[in-house]
Amino acid sequence: MSENVIYCYSGTGNCLDMAKKIAKGMGGADIVLMRKAPAVTDATGYQRVGFVVPCYGGGLPGGVEDYVKSIQIAPSAYKFGVIQFAGYMGSGLHKIDKIVDLDYWNTLHMHSSAIWLMPHWLCFPPKSVKMSLKGLDRKAAKIAKDVQAKTVSAKKPPKRTICAVESAGFPKVNKLLNKSMYVSDTCIGCGTCAKLCPKGNIEIRGGKAHVGTNCIACMTCVQYCPKEAINVGKLTKNRARYQNPNVSQTELTETIIHI
């Protein structure tokens, strides 16, 4: 067993990409995926316990806060959190800090991944995916070094009250988005969406995908459909799809990855 564990949620692979890079820079870690309830909740045997998650709707992806609460950590463990975002860091790290009392935190600004429904100018200054990832690799290496040295942050993660308000309303937004999701006739029933949906909310029936009502609007189905058959009303119709180039679909469905 490694000395280090990183709990990671990832919709389109950005956070898993960074979790892998941080793990490598630390000399190894077990990465436990939190797209569903984590397979390992007893983390008391680890010296360093990390969280690498994206900002969703100003807060954390649906379910993640409860998953973090379910994890047991040794009192002596060093705890760190990293949030990845397109435009602003939101209140997610503050929420995690309230649960686990982080020793260290940092942010990763992924400029170019937002198929998300926000205008692309939020990802400012505009950069290509290749350029964005290059910058992030450097930052991940710095985070790994900090974590390896058990660096303690001078300040706690900011509360960002406005983002906390946004995130409290996000489940309602999800419901509205969920209602306007549709599967077009170009669907070939390949099952990619069903396999990747973190909530098990998509079924293949009669050779076609059917989206249920338990959606957290992660857009993974929209992003990974090989036929671009899943859309949210007109919002995603002509938007470029995005998948992190360093993470495979299989990795996204793993429960634990050993680095």
Q: Are 114 and 122 in contact (CB under 8 A)?
A: yes
Q: Provide the 10 A C-beta neighbour count for residue 199.
A: 15
CB of 25 to ligand FMN, least distance (A): 18
Closer to ligand FMN by CB, 78 or 116: give it: 116
Closer to ligand FMN by CB, 77 or 157: give it: 157
Closer to ligand FMN by CB, 19 or 77: give it: 19
Closer to ligand FMN by CB, 16 or 26: give it: 16
Closer to ligand FMN by CB, 4 or 10: give it: 10
Helix axis angle for 92-100 and 161-179, nearest 10°, is 110
Burial 152-183 (b: 16+ CB within 10 A, else e): eeeeebeebeebbebbeebeeebeebbeebeb
d(CA 251, CA 241): 19
**Cβ burial, residue 227 (10 Å; 0-12/13-18/19+):** middle
Name which of 204, 248, 249 is nearest 230 in CA terms.
204
Which parts of this chain interact with ligand FMN (CB under 6 A)? 10-15, 54-58, 84-88, 90, 110, 113-114, 116, 217-219, 244
d(CA 90, CA 158): 8
CB of 54 to ligand FMN, least distance (A): 3
CB of 75 to ligand FMN, least distance (A): 30
Closer to ligand FMN by CB, 86 or 96: give it: 86
Closer to ligand FMN by CB, 133 or 183: give it: 133
Q: Are 239 and 9 in contact (CB under 8 A)?
A: no
CB of 53 to ligand FMN, least distance (A): 8
For the record, the structure tokens of 259 come out as 């680095």
CB of 39 to ligand FMN, least distance (A): 18
Rg (CA), the chain: 18
CB of 227 to ligand FMN, least distance (A): 20
CB of 156 to ligand FMN, least distance (A): 20
